[in-house]
A and B are shown apart, each in its own frame.
Chain A
Amino acid sequence: MSENVENLETGPAWASALGVVAIVLGVLLVAAHGNEWLTQYTIPAVGETVSELPPADCPQDELEEEGLTVAQCEQMVSNLQSIRVSRPDWFRSSQLVVSAVGTGLAFLSILVGAALVNYRRWAAGAAVVVFGALVAVDVVTFITAVQTGPILRAMYLWDALLWFCLHLMMMLGAIVGAQHEQTA
């Protein structure tokens, strides 16, 4: 008989609710950290290429295809240049590492979320560790962005703060859940 033929009896409600929140946010976070990694990988540092990007190339057919005005097309290059010149030398490599670690932890939070919904005995303890590590990643991201300048702060701080609050709530929920299980 296959292992997945076992019955699906329910665990405590807190574990089911916290688990599904961890899974949904984990899926979004994999995408968010993955995209941050892609961003840093794709946009080279100023020192690696010319310091000033050439003028935008905005052929009419491409503008029509993408529904852009010439001003928007030119602004795309300006936006890229503002990111490049706003990044301190260490920022790109730092973000590549932090986003790679964040992607791995986000995958782990999906697994831990599934374990919570399925109510494995080890799930609450593992959730405290994984959600705590995600809080740490958010703090590092926040501090990293604070050390840059107003342009990158505007891009990163709000997201980092939002994720920090979400992961903090999840970690505290897991701590209370774990305590509840110990006393039950």
Chain B
Amino acid sequence: MANKAYRPTAVITHWLIAVSIFFLFISSWWMLALPLPGPEFQFRAFPFQLHKNLGITLVFLLFLLLYVRLRHRPVPEQSPAMKPWMHKLAAIDHVILYLVIFACCISGYISSSFSGWGTTLWWTVDLYHWGWEDEDLNMLFSDIHLWTCWALLGLIAVHISGAIYHAFGNDGIVRRMLRL
């Protein structure tokens, strides 16, 4: 019998990435409304460190997911509910989704590197601060971070729409990413 489901590692990683991405969105909207940093105001310090740590971890999770998915590829779904254009849309959405998640995380990291603020990975390891304080570069990568994240939200909407469509159709396709 052909292998139809994804590996448990891929399933767990996929859902960790999903939860992390939504937490990063919601918390970033909230933390950017905190007072600007200054001698009297350090409210942003913890949320920003958490944001950066989760973003960096997300890149590792993304590579782990890609590694497991490429190493153990389930056979493509042959259900009659899966029309050819759906196969194409799903494939395109996945590729762009991975690229945009990567671009979103990396642009945020590079922007931070030119902000003058260091990063301590999960409050234990001081990451090498290769960047320098440069307002123009910080703003450039900050804008890229912003727009790639908005694009990511749109791609996620397409991704979730597909999952809900198949689950409501009860065609068994979403089970591929839900079975441990």
Contacts and interface: CB of A to CB of B under 8 A. Distances in A.
Interface of A: 2, 4-13, 16-17, 19-21, 23-24, 27-28, 30-32, 34-35, 38-39, 41-43, 53-54, 56-59, 61-63, 65-66, 68, 73, 76-77, 79-80, 107, 110, 114, 117-118
B168 interface: yes
5 contacts: A4-B5, A11-B170, A24-B163, A66-B36, A110-B15
B139 interface: yes
A35 B180 CA distance: 28
Given A28-B22, A35-B27, A42-B43, A20 B7 contact: no
Contact of B139 (A17, A28, A59, A65): A65
Interface of B: 1-8, 15, 18-19, 22-23, 25-27, 30-41, 43, 46-47, 50, 135, 138-139, 142, 160, 163-164, 167-168, 170-172, 174-176, 178-180
Given A7-B1, A31-B27, A54-B41, 11 more contacts: A8-B172, A32-B26, A35-B30, A38-B46, A38-B47, A42-B43, A54-B40, A62-B36, A77-B41, A107-B19, A117-B174
Interface secondary structure of A, over-half rule: helix
A59 B135 CA distance: 13
Given A8-B175, A16-B167, A42 B34 contact: yes
Given A2-B3, A5-B1, A30-B23, A43 B179 contact: no
Contacts of A9: 172
B3 A117 contact: no
Contacts of A24: 160, 163-164
Of the candidates A9, A21, A117, A118, the one having the most CB atoms from chain B within 10 angstroms of its own CB is A117
Contacts of A4: 3, 5-8, 179-180
A59 B41 CA distance: 13
Contacts of A107: 19
Nearest to A56: B35
B18 A16 contact: no
Given A20-B164, A65-B142, A77-B35, A118 B19 contact: no
A30 B22 contact: yes
Contacts of A62: 36-37
Contacts of B7: 2, 4
